[in-house]
Amino acid sequence: MRISRKLRLWRALVFFFFVLYPNPLVLVRSIEHISQPVADPQAVAALAQTLPNDPARLIEQAVLPASSPYASTGRRRGLPWYFPTTREALAQKRGDCESRALR
């Protein structure tokens, strides 16, 4: 039996959405976060007060190891990709490159 391209594409999409993202709302929220990132100064206000008034490199050295050790998306959320909000990145206390960029 020969499977058409449309059917193969449909099966791949079903796999992507229902196996990799059992809750499709997580993917929708992630797309919203990346398409319209929201700055949330209140989420980082307490952390910002503890930062040294030095160049960016010193701030990065002070913040990232303490507040966001690196962890891949799969280890953090069990998903292949997710773009978190600033509040989510701070609450998880670890993150991948997107999470660390938000801090």
Q: What share of the chain is helix, strand, coil (3-state, %, to 5)?
A: 65, 0, 35
> What is the per-residue pLDDT for 64?
65
Nearest 5°: CA angle at 53, between 48 and 57? 90
> What is the per-residue pLDDT for 31?
87
> What is the per-residue pLDDT for 43?
87
Which residues does the chain have with pLDDT short of 70?
A: 1, 52-55, 59-60, 62-78, 95, 98-103
Buried b (16+ CB within 10 A) or exposed e, 75-92: ebbeeeebbbbbebbbee
> What is the per-residue pLDDT for 74?
60
Residue with tokens 């229902």, as numbered in its chain: 18
> What is the per-residue pLDDT for 1?
67
Domain boundaries, the chain: 24-102
Closest C-alpha to 68, from 44, 92, 41, 39: 92
